[in-house]
Chain A
Amino acid sequence: MKSLPSSLTAASLAAVFALGLTGCKSGGGDTIKVGEYASLTGKEATYGAAMHEGTMLAIEEVNAAGGVLGKQIELIVEDDQSKAGEPANAVNKLISKDGVVAVLGEFASSRSLEGGPICQENKIPMISPGSTNPAVTQVGDYIFRVCFTDPFQGAALANFANGTLKAKKVAILTDVKSDYSKGLAKYFKEKYLAGGGELAAELDFNGGDKDFKAQLTTIKNSSPDAIFIPGYYNDVALICIQAKQLGIDVPLFGGDGWESHMLLEIGKDAVEGHYFSTHCLTDQDTPKMKSFVEAYTKRYNKAPDAMSTLGYDSAMVLIDAMKRAGTTESAALRDAIAATKDYEGVSGTFSLDENRDAVKPLVFAQIKNGKFVYSATVNP
C-alpha cells in the first residue's frame, strides 16, 4: 500500500502534463494542422507523388480563398518511401509530435492498414485517397476513403469480361506479393464464375519480377479469350510486352493499378488495345474536372492523372467536413466526414456509406494510339 500515494502522484502529474500538452496542441498557433503520409520516393513513387500534388493543390486553393474556420491550413507531409514499417513511424510522428487534427493517406492498401490503426487508436480521422482493399476502413470508425472498393471493382471487371468482351474462358495472372492484386483477383473470380465464365488458367508472379514468359507460355497454351492481370503498371507493362512477343493476341485487362503514364512509356505499342478499370479519366467532360485539370496544369506544368484527383478529393472532403462541423474537435469532425453525402468531387459525385467507403461510379478505359480512352461507366 505504500506505493499507492506515489503512483497516484505520478498519475496525476502525468495527467497534468498531458493536459498541458493537449492545451498546447489545440491552442497553439492560428493554423489548422493536417497531416499527410505518402510514398513520395521508392517503387510506387509515381502514385504517391501524383496524389500528394492533388492534395497540395486543394490545400493551397483553400488557403488562397481565406482558409477554413478563419484559419489557414498547414499541411505536414511525411514520406514513407513505399516501404513497410515507415507508415507507422510517419503517422506516429504526425499525431504525437505535430498534433495534427486529421490525417490524409496512403494509396497502397497494405500501407494504409499500417497507418490506420494508429489513427483509430488516437481517434484522429484518416481519409485514404486510393486504398481499395475492403480491410482498410474496417480498422475502425475513424477511417474513411474517397475511392471505391475492390469487391465493387472486381465485380465490375467480371461483368466486363462476361458482357463487353464476351470472354468464355479467362486466364488470371496474380501478383502474390500484393494484397491489392490477390483481393481483386478473388472478387473477380467469384463474380466471373457465378456469371457462367470459365477459368482457362491461373498463374502467379512476384511483383518486381521481370520475366513472365514462363507463365505466359502456359497461359497461351490454355487458349483463353482474355487475360486478367490485377497488377501494378510497372509489372503490367513488361507482361504486355512479353505477351506480344509470344504472339498472344487476346485482350488483356486489369484494375486501377494500370493507370499510370509509365504504362504507356514502357509498354509502348505492346499495351495497345488493352483495357482497365479506374476511378476517373482526366479528359472526362465535367466542369469540376475541367477546372481541376486547368489549375493542376498551371501549378505543376504537367497533366494530372486519376490519382491526383483522388488526392484532391480526399483533402476537399476533409475541409468540407470541417466547415460543416464548425470545429476541428475529433469526434465532431469524424461525424461530419461520415455524414458526407452527394459530394461533388473531381473524381465523381459520391456519398460515404455506413462502412465509411465512397459509393461512386467506375470508369473503363481502353489504350488507343498511346492514350487512355474512355470506354464505359459502371454505376454502383
Chain B
Amino acid sequence: MEFLQQFINGLSLGSVYALIALGYTMVYGVLRFINFAHSDILMLGAFAAFYLSPIVEKFCGPQSPVGAILVVILAAAICAIIGTLIEFFAYRPLRGRPKLTVLITAIGVSLFIEFTCQHGKVFGSNPRPFPKLLNDTQFHFGKLAIGSNDVIVLLVTAMLLVGIWFLVQKTRVGTALRAVSYNQQAAALMGVPVNRIISFTFAVGSALAAIAGILYSMKFPAIEPLMGVQPGLRAFIAAVVGGIGNIPGAVLGGLIIGLLETFAGGIPGLSNYRDAIAFGILILILFFKPAGLLGRSTVEKV
C-alpha cells in the first residue's frame, strides 16, 4: 500500500518535471542550446496566473473549470510573448556566434529576471499564497489518497506531450522546425523563415513553461521569484536523462526523476539524501547511455 502511495506521489511530481522538461528539450532540439531562463518563465507564468485569477474570478465565479482554463490560456499567452521577446533581444543578436556565448547570455537573462522580480517594487521576495484555481478534491481508496489536481496534472502532461509530438511530426510548421533543427543554413536556402520558426519555438516552449508553472503552483501553493530554480534544474536533468532534444525522452526522464526522488525521500534515515540518491542513479544511467535513454548518439563534426 505504501509503495503504491509513493508511486502515485512520484508520478504526480514527475509529470510536472516532465512538462518543464518538454520546454527545455524543444528549444534545445532547434537551437542546440539550453535556455536557462526557462525556469524563470515558469515563475512568471505562476505570477501571471496569480494576478489574472482575481480578475477572471469576477466573470466566471470562484474555482470554475472555465475560469481555470481561461487563466491558463492567458498566462500561457503572456509568457509566449515574453519568451519571444527574450529570444528577440537577447539571443537573436548572437545568432551565428559560438554556442557558449549564447549559453552564458541565457544564464544572464535568468539572473536578470530573478533579481528584477525579487525587488520590492516588482514581486518582492516574500512567498505569496497561490489562489485556488480549482477545488482540490481528495479521493481516498482505503489508505490510498489521490487528489483531483494530481490527476489533472497527469492528464495535462499527457495531452501536451501528444499535442507537441503532433505539432512537430505532422504539421507544416513542424516540418519547418525539424528542418531548422537539422541544418539552419540549408533550411534557409529552401525558403524556411528560420527566424520566424525560432520565435515560434520560443513561444511554444514558454507557453509550456507557463502551464507547468501554474500546475506546479496548484500543487505547492506558495510562489516567489526563485520558485523556478529547483524544479527547473530537475527538469533540465530529466531532459538530459531522457535524451535532450527528444520529446518522449523528456517525459520519461521527468517521470523517472519524480519517482526516484519520492522513493528516496520516503526512507527514514535516508530522506536527507533524497537528491543524492536520485541524482546518483541518474549519473549511472548516463554512464551507460551517455546520449540519454531515448537519445541517439551522434558524431560531432569537429
Contact = CB atoms under 8 A, between A and B. Distances in A.
29 contacts: A41-B120, A45-B125, A45-B126, A176-B272, A201-B268, A204-B271, A206-B272, A210-B220, A210-B227, A211-B219, A213-B9, A214-B6, A217-B2, A217-B5, A218-B268, A218-B271, A221-B143, A234-B222, A237-B222, A238-B221, A238-B222, A245-B138, A245-B145, A247-B138, A247-B140, A247-B145, A262-B126, A266-B127, A266-B221
Contacts of B221: 238, 241, 266
Interface string A195-209: 000000111111011
Chain A, interface size: which category? 20 to 34
Interface in B259-287: 261-269, 271-272, 274-275
A268 interface: yes
Contacts of B262: 211, 213-214
Nearest to B12: A213
B127 A214 contact: no
A186 B127 CA distance: 28
Interface string A223-263: 00000000000100110010001110000000000000010
A31 interface: no
Interface in A275-291: none
B6 A217 contact: yes
Contact of A214 (B1, B126, B222, B274): B274
B214 interface: no
Q: Which 7 A-B pairs have the closest CB atoms?
A: A214-B265, A204-B272, A210-B220, A213-B9, A214-B266, A214-B262, A218-B266
Interface residues of B, number: 42
Interface in B239-272: 261-269, 271-272
A210 B265 CA distance: 12
B163 interface: no
B62 interface: no
Nearest to B10: A214
Identify which of A209, A217, A221, A245 gathers the most chain B CB atoms within 10 Å of its CB: A217
Interface of B: 1-2, 5-6, 9-10, 13, 118, 120, 124-127, 129, 136, 138, 140, 143, 145, 147, 216, 219-222, 224, 227, 230-231, 261-269, 271-272, 274-275
A215 to B, nearest CB: 5
Interface in A165-214: 176, 201-206, 208-211, 213-214
A271 to B, nearest CB: 12
Contacts of A202: 268-269
Given A211-B265, A217-B266, 14 more contacts: A176-B272, A203-B268, A205-B265, A205-B271, A209-B230, A210-B227, A211-B262, A214-B271, A215-B271, A218-B266, A221-B2, A241-B221, A245-B147, A266-B129
A213 B8 CA distance: 10
Contacts of B227: 210
A234 B271 contact: no
B115 to A, nearest CB: 11
Contacts of A201: 268
A76 B125 CA distance: 23
A368 interface: no
Nearest to A176: B272
A237 B129 CA distance: 10
Contacts of B274: 214
A217 B118 contact: no
Nearest to A222: B268
A203 B9 CA distance: 17
Interface string A89-127: 000000000000000000000000000000000000000
Contacts of B224: 43
A284 to B, nearest CB: 26
Nearest to A214: B265
A329 interface: no
Nearest to B130: A266
Contacts of A213: 9, 13, 262
A342 interface: no
